[in-house]
Every structure is written in C-alpha cells, then in structure tokens.
Amino acid sequence: MSPARRMPCRRPFPSGGAPSCSARWRRGCIGCSSCVPISELRGDIAALKHRRIGAAPWVEMGLRGLLNTSGLDPVRDDIGIGPVPRTGDAGINFGLAAAEALERGESDGFWANGMAAEIAVGCKVGTVVLDVRRGDGPPGVFGYTMPALVATDRLIEHAPDTAAAAIQALVACQRALRHDPRRAIEVGSRRFPSREAGLIVPLVERDLPFYDAAISEPVLAGVTDFDRGLGALTRRAPYAEAVATQFRDLWRGEG
C-alpha cells in the first residue's frame, strides 16, 4: 500500500493521481506468517538463518524490516529473500504456490498469508515460526503494513460516491463474515481448488478479530515510520494528508 498522498509512494498508480487510504481490510501486517521445515521452533527468528525464503514483491519489505529490527542481516546471516517459483504466471495463487515450493524443496520457507501456512502445516511439510499478528517477533512489527483500500485524490474529489460505495461494500463484507464466516466458501469455492477452499472458513474465523476498517492515527504512524526506515518516505505523513477522513463514519457502518 502507499500510505500518503503527495509523497513518494511504493508503487505509482497507472492512471496518475496521488493515493489516499480510504479504509483497511483488516489490522496487521500483510505478510504475517513465516513457515519453514517442521524441525524449527515457533518464535525462533534465528531459524531463518541460512534459508531461502520466498516472498511476494513489496510484501517482502515487511520481512526485511522484521529481520532488521531483530538484529539479523540477510547478507551476513545468509538469508535469501526472493520470489517463489512460478508465482508470476497468470492465475497462480501466491499462498498455494509458496506451500508447494516448500514441499518440493524449491525454497526453505516463505513469508506469506494464512492460507499458505495452513497448507504447509496440514501437509506436514512446514511449521509456523512467526505469526506477527499473534505476538511473534519484535514489538511494532504488527503495524508495519496493512491491507488497505486506496484511492487517488482525483477519484475522491470528483467521484466521492464511488469511493464511499467501495468502503461500504468492504465494511458490509466484514460484517457479513463476522455474522456467518461460512459465507466465505461462496467465494473460496470459485477461487481455489477444493482442498484449499475447504480451509477458507476456519482461516476467516481465526482472523475475525482483525477485521476492522478504521484507520487510526497510531496505525498510520506505525506504517509511515516503517516506510521512512526503508527510505520509501522522506517524512512522516500527517494523518489528514494520508487518510480520507471524510469517510470515517463509514468505517463503522454509519452514514
């Protein structure tokens, strides 16, 4: 995500215009789980030394930040971070491919989402070493990144109803899943093979506490401080500059 408008962003919008956060899908780091072979221990960050870790572009920045905060250096500690084989192919799900690459021995671990970790654990080819949303890793890692709904200032100014409708749809989806997580299978069965589709509901149930569309000032500060540490931003982004606060009532399903 690009957390601030009128500031350098990680990836430019193809259509132009500065990006602003309108809402978020859930709390917590985008790449949240590090999974390596089953002999390693939960919470042992040193287990990543001398490993080839697969991670998606941009998402891997969270892993690099975690290593730096933990006193590990990818070069010194021989931690290879790179793309998972075949994830650039059309229609390939990263989490699925990451678990399969681990099983085939094409990587020694991955930094990915709950689906990838669930597959690796279920197949007994890996174990979760780090889940930063549940307290693993150094303090502050939880807030490095977040999945967010981002729109250009141009769209917010000229089509505010469109932006508002997108936020309302996101909040309505969160509410529906909290009420009945089994509804996730309606989408999962169209998106994933049958084995993986069967994992969707328990994954959603586990993550329900993190489903929150609101973006608070401390949340934004954590993200922008992380970006500054990476050199992606040159200054802290003021809250009102980076977040479309005119839609804040919609975050709670009001308005």
Q: Is 231 exposed, middle or buried (0-12, 13-18, 19+ CB in 10 A)?
A: exposed
Cβ count within 10 A of residue 136 = 20
- pLDDT the model gives residue 12: 36
Whole-number pLDDT of residue 166: 95
Indicate whether 104 and 79 sit together in one domain: yes
Residue 17 lies in a domain: no
Nearest to 131 by CA among 85, 123, 2, 121: 121
* Structural domain boundaries, residue 50: 33-142
The length of the chain, given as a count of residues: 255
Residue 19 resides in a domain: no
The reply to whether 90 and 177 lie within a common domain is: no
Q: Which of 25-39, 44-58, 177-191, 228-242 has the lowest mean pLDDT?
A: 25-39
Residue 176's pLDDT is what? Answer: 94
> pLDDT by residue (tens digit) across 164-181?
999 999 999 999 999 999
Indicate if 137 and 161 belong to the same structural domain: no
Given a cut of 70, is residue 119 above it in pLDDT? yes
Residue by residue, DSSP assigns 31-45 as S-EEEE-TTS-TT-G
What percent of the chain lies above the pLDDT cut of 70? 83
Q: Are residues 114 and 177 in the same domain?
A: no
For residue 21, what pLDDT is reported? 63
Same domain, 239 and 181: yes
Based on its alpha-carbon atoms, the radius of gyration of the chain, rounded to whole angstroms, reads: 18
Is residue 14 pLDDT above 50, yes or no? no
Average pLDDT on 192-210 reads 87
